[in-house]
Amino acid sequence: MKLAKICIVEVNVGIAANGRDTHVSLACQKTCVEMLMALRDRGGFAMDDNGLIFDEYKAYLNFEGEPGVGDVFFKWVNDVQWDGTMCCRKSITPHASRVFEEFPADPTLAKFDRSDRKYAALAKECGTDSAVYNAADSDWKHHETSFAHNGINVVNLCPGELKDCSH
């Protein structure tokens, strides 16, 4: 699997890779597992200095690195997030109305899920060599064109399974 130079991984990819508490098919789970393992083998992910993405991972994935591949990925992230050869760390700035200063001030993105804006803000901060990886949250697909127009690449790993999600 070819990955962007810098990958921003939405928590739903880890959840889907774990294959529990999710609506995704085995095919989607397999795609997410392959993506996470390829990233782990290569490195090149991004985290925000605020710890917001890490905190969301912590809420849904297991520090022990088991029983699922999403948990293995999270343990790896925990272990290498301060290694500059594996992880690109960037600051994202709180903003009163857009949630983050780096989130595009584009009216077509006004209804995008506020809790997922940290991923888009981080991608914007990381530049065009980055991409947000999404498993099955339809909000990313609904706004994909607007994100592309604003220089944010989105990779929907399971496009046939996009659902309205709460995480």
Q: Give the global pTM.
A: 0.94
13 neighbors 135 (Cβ within 8 angstroms): yes
61 neighbors 70 (Cβ within 8 angstroms): yes
Residue 167: pLDDT band (50, 70, 90) is: very low
Burial class (CB in 10 A: 0-12, 13-18, 19+), 6: buried
What is the per-residue pLDDT for 12?
Answer: 96
State pLDDT tens for residues 97-142.
999 999 999 999 999 999 999 999 999 999 999 999 999 999 999 9
Top CATH class, 6-161: alpha beta
Give how far Cα 160 sits from Cα of 65, 67, 98, Å.
28, 26, 29
- The secondary structure of 19-35, three-state, reads CCCCCCCHHHHHHHHHH
17 neighbors 68 (Cβ within 8 angstroms): yes
State pLDDT tens for residues 11-64.
999 999 999 878 899 999 999 999 999 999 999 999 999 999 999 999 999 988
Per domain, the residue ranges of the chain are 6-161
What type of residue sits at position 135? A
- pLDDT above 90 covers a percentage of the chain that reads 89
